[in-house]
Amino acid sequence: MLTQSTAAPSLNINRVVPGPLPSSEPFCGLAGHAGLIATEFTYRKDEEIYGEDEPAEYVYQVIRGAVRTYKLLSDGRRQIGAFHLPGDVFGLESGIKHRLAAEAIIDTSVRLVKRRSLEQAAGTDVQVAHKLWTMTADDLKHAEEHMLLLGRKSAMERVANFLLEMDRRLAVAGMMALPMCRRDIGDYLGLTLETVSRALSQLNDEGVLGFSGARQIVLRNRQRLRNMDI
Amino acid sequence: MLTQSTAAPSLNINRVVPGPLPSSEPFCGLAGHAGLIATEFTYRKDEEIYGEDEPAEYVYQVIRGAVRTYKLLSDGRRQIGAFHLPGDVFGLESGIKHRLAAEAIIDTSVRLVKRRSLEQAAGTDVQVAHKLWTMTADDLKHAEEHMLLLGRKSAMERVANFLLEMDRRLAVAGMMALPMCRRDIGDYLGLTLETVSRALSQLNDEGVLGFSGARQIVLRNRQRLRNMDI
DNA sequence: CGTCCATTTGAGGTGGATCAACCCTAGTGG
DNA sequence: CCACTAGGGTTGATCCACCTCAAATGGACG
């Protein structure tokens, strides 16, 4: 129900587009490095990129589209840990396995490099090693803030927080086009999709935001949202 | 109410006991390194070790006692991110500030090293750099599992999870002596202290655990707890 | 022995979940 | 170009797991 992947991505060899790393914004400042070959890859909407506990062979960067990483309980309950948008790196592990699964939310292109080559580079270049550390530390910072949200914030505070986060990350010209559905938002915020929908409707009624389509949102009063977010 | 620290720890110079790092289990394999000086320090119950957003000048390792790291909302709601027990490292940041506050839960001794000296060591030694990364990655793994707990698990599942975690980390001879109060447990699990108490009472009634004092717990049926934890 | 907290237990309230229609819109095919 | 359909989104009604408020109990310590 939650995952509708149709084929193991590793089998879609025909979609692999190898190439050198571009010198502009190259995997967050990791490229120009001996032995770092980036490959491009495309996933369709809802396609699995990797599964939980799968060997972590690659590190990914979103080029176009959006990705959700999540954990599942045996009865289907899902917690989305993060949404990854163009420019974001995901799938970076210091251990041997991925600890969350990853799926494309919409049609998505990623750049990927072999984790092994990244670790080799880190073994000879302390700058690469430092970059790996700070990327993981940034993920930890996000997780720590999200624990506070999940453990202690009300539904409205969570939704306000989500809107401000997405506004910051993907608004163009004051408008954001959300790639994810209400269920994804709920599974990110520890709520049901109905509760998310009700909170958004209330914010619309209060004039804090405006819709032009369920996933096209414009924030009209960011300060009110910041006050809600505490 | 939540913090009853009586003095800034940096002022308690009289309690500083400088010394070289012992060669056995030395700061999780980081010592024996040029320029890494470890200092010992003691905090009383409920004393603040560092505050949220305070400059991250030191990295700490618990020698004896227990530490909670947490975030606060402006109205006093608290989310404890982790409990740190003897051997655990905490306060390691790649950025300039601590993103959670830290307090001693009971009288606690820590070993501390200057974060700057650790980063210098990492700048010349890739093994140190790698160790910093894996320590942060371990914290991230814990945070990811805790997000699933906070976002999607029931009260009983959370308490079962907590008991198994503490059993693993601090049980001696099948018995655990919890250093923290019910409020701390609640703020760790995103519950109230009453809900924690009721769950523990129910587990006691069902024979899954036994008390010998409110904080002295023996698990009698770990498998039942594992099933509850999903 | 009395005081002070921490903990337990009880009673009742509520925020968000659940269950159930209904609606809207994009995509499809005639 | 429009009718039909399916999936996502909204809204309403009801329920219940956990919270809140309150009081009793227990244990540690002077």
Please report the pLDDT score of residue B34 as a whole number: 61
Distance B176 CA to D21 C1' (A): 32
Contact (CB, 8 A) for B21 and B61:
no
Strand D-proximal protein residues, Cβ less than 7 Å: A 181-183, 193-194, 196-198, 200-201, 211, 214-215; B 154-156, 190-192, 194-195, 213-214
Kindly report the three-state secondary structure assignment for every residue of A134-198.
Answer: HHHHHHHHHHHHHHHHHHHCCHHHHHHHHHHHHHHHHCECCEEECCCCHHHHHHHHCCCHHHHHH
Contact (CB, 8 A) for A136 and B133:
yes
Q: Kindly report which listed range (A198-212, B11-25, B199-213) carries the lowest average pLDDT score.
A: B11-25
Please report the pLDDT score of residue A29 as a whole number: 58
Distance B50 CA to C6 C1' (A): 26
What's the pLDDT tens digit per position in A86-109? 999 999 999 999 999 999 999 999
Q: Which residues of B104-135 are buried (b: 16+ CB within 10 A; e: fewer)?
A: bbeebbbbbbbbebbbbbbeebbebbbbbbeb
Q: How confident is the model at residue A68 (pLDDT cuts 50, 70, 90)?
A: very high
Q: Which amino acid is at B83?
A: F
Sign of CA dihedral A161, A164, A167, A173: positive
B11 in the Ramachandran plot: left (φ > 0), alpha (ψ -120 to 50) or beta?
A: alpha
Please report the pLDDT score of residue A230 as a whole number: 79
Domains of chain A: 14-150 (2.60.120.10), 153-228 (1.10.10.10)
Strand C-proximal protein residues, Cβ less than 7 Å: A 154-156, 190-192, 194-195, 213; B 181-183, 193-194, 196-198, 200-201, 211, 214-215
Helix, strand, coil shares, percent, chain A, to 5: 40, 25, 35
On average, the pLDDT of chain A sits at: 89
Half-sphere exposure in the Cβ direction for B58 (13 Å, CA):
19
Transcribe A73-108 into DSSP letters.
-TTS-EEEEEEE-TT-EE---SSSB-SSEEEESSSE
Does the structure show a pLDDT above 50 at A14? no
Q: Kindly report which listed range (A15-29, A200-214, B100-114, B183-197) carries the lowest average pLDDT score.
A: A15-29
Please report the pLDDT score of residue B23 as a whole number: 38
What's the pLDDT tens digit per position in A122-152? 999 999 999 999 999 999 999 999 999 999 9
| CA-based R_g, chain B, Å | 18
| CA-based R_g, chain A, Å | 18
The two tokens of residue A31 are: 């490229």
The two tokens of residue A147 are: 């624990």
Check if A18 contacts B (Cβ < 8 Å): no
Contact (CB, 8 A) for B93 and B117:
no
Average pLDDT over every residue of A178-183: 98
Average pLDDT over every residue of A143-162: 98
